[in-house]
């Protein structure tokens, strides 16, 4: 973020923020979507709670070079595929050296890297989610769904592709609706060992608290693109409209908070029967790290070439004791029970 010029920042605010231009671009997407037939393309959606391995899978699948995606070079013109194409073409010859992303997790990015950028569309569709805790989506209008479908097909077209690879962690709360609207698409929902996952979430929360403190635009940028997973703008996921919230009185600086977030997310996925949807596949991150064959099976499932793309994935799970974790045994047992239940429903051909 520190490399952004004042012009860069102004353009981001203009095209992504609360401006008349961004509202116009969003409304135009909805209008164009109304005249488009229901999308029959077999897109690939990657989702799951942040730090579940979604970015690693995104990069690995995108390396096939047989599918489009939202790329950093399209920013900040996500709501205007035409402008995104013009801007990315102007900068297509630039070979920018990869830099490690702010997460400090050994994932290197440049302007040609894919990323979760389509949340901008959903912010415009549900602006109140910036102020309240997200809950399960009960209704998404056909106008919004067709507008989103038009957005995907347009970005695929400007990349000379017929379909898109979309990583969006927030899509896990939209799985029910999106999986029905895009019946020919595949939805990969990542799950990771709850202890390793929760520790990673806590680590990133501490990391981004520091980043947001040092660089105010980094916080503004995360708000503009709808990333509220951790840091100063962290908003917990809640899956019920009940007044009693799971996070009441909890400290985000403790592992207990993040483990309970994990439990609430994946228990909801399990109890809502999403895992049994024909085009929704529970993907266990540790298993992909252990088996190149499983990744090949995912490629076959999604219609990508079965060549092994890039370096092997690595799991950062480590040994621990209950004393190290400083969480109640009952919470740990609930997490592991949920994890084991989803393992039985996971993709394992």
pLDDT tens-place string over residues 218-232: 999 999 999 999 999
Number of domains in the chain: 1
Instruction: CATH number of the domain at 60, please.
Output: 3.40.50
Q: In what side-by-side order are the strands of the sheet with 186-191? A: 68-69, 164-167, 44-47, 186-191, 280-284
State which residues form the domain around 145: 6-344
pLDDT tens-place string over residues 16-46: 999 999 999 999 999 999 987 666 789 999 9
Q: Is residue 1 included in any domain, yes or no? A: no
Comparing 240 with 191, the larger pLDDT belongs to 191
pLDDT-derived band at 319 (thresholds 50, 70, 90) equals low
Mean pLDDT for the chain overall: 89
Q: Is residue 16 included in any domain, yes or no? A: yes
Q: Is residue 294 included in any domain, yes or no? A: yes
**Quick count: other Cβ atoms within 10 Å of Cβ 127?**
10
In angstroms, the CA 192 to CA 321 distance is 18
Q: Is residue 159 included in any domain, yes or no? A: yes
Q: Is residue 349 included in any domain, yes or no? A: no
In angstroms, the CA 236 to CA 257 distance is 10
Q: Is residue 140 included in any domain, yes or no? A: yes
Q: Is residue 75 included in any domain, yes or no? A: yes
Mean pLDDT, residues 296-303: 95
pLDDT tens-place string over residues 102-142: 787 777 888 889 999 999 999 999 887 766 666 666 689 99
Q: Is residue 253 included in any domain, yes or no? A: yes
**pLDDT for 92 beyond 70:** no
Torsion of CA 321, 322, 325, 326, to 10 degrees: -150
């Amino acid at each position: 973020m520190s490399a952004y010029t004042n012009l860069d920042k102004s353009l981001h605010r203009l095209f992504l923020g609360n401006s008349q231009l961004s509202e116009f671009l969003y409304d135009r997407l909805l209008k164009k979507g109304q005249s488009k037939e229901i999308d029959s393309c077999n897109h690939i959606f990657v989702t799951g709670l942040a730090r579940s391995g979604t970015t690693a899978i995104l990069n690995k699948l995108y390396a096939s070079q047989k599918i489009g995606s939202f790329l950093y070079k399209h920013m900040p013109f996500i709501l205007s595929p035409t402008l995104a194409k013009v801007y990315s073409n102007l900068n297509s010859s630039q070979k920018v050296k990869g830099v490690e992303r702010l997460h400090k997790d050994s994932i290197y990015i440049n302007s040609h890297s894919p990323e979760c950028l389509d949340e901008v569309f959903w912010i415009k569709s549900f602006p109140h989610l910036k102020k309240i805790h997200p809950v399960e989506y009960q209704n998404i209008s056909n106008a919004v769904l067709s507008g989103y479908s038009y957005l995907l097909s347009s970005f695929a077209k400007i990349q000379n592709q017929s379909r898109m690879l979309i990583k969006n962690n927030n899509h896990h709360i939209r799985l029910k609706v999106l999986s029905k609207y895009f019946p020919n698409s595949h939805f990969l929902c990542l799950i990771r060992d709850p202890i390793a996952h929760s520790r990673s979430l806590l680590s990133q929360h501490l990391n981004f608290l520091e980043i947001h403190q040092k660089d105010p635009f980094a916080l503004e940028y995360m708000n503009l693109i709808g990333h509220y997973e951790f840091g100063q703008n962290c908003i917990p996921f809640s899956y019920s409209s009940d007044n009693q919230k799971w996070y009441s009185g909890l400290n985000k600086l403790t592992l207990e908070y993040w483990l309970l977030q994990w439990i609430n997310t994946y228990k909801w996925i399990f109890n809502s029967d999403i895992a049994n949807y024909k085009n929704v596949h529970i993907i266990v991150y540790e298993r992909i790290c252990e088996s190149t064959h499983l990744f090949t099976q995912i490629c076959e499932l999604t219609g990508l070439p079965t060549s092994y793309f890039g370096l092997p994935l690595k799991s950062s799970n480590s040994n621990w004791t209950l004393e190290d974790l400083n969480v109640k045994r009952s919470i740990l047992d609930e997490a592991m029970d949920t994890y084991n239940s989803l393992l039985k429903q996971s993709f394992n051909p």
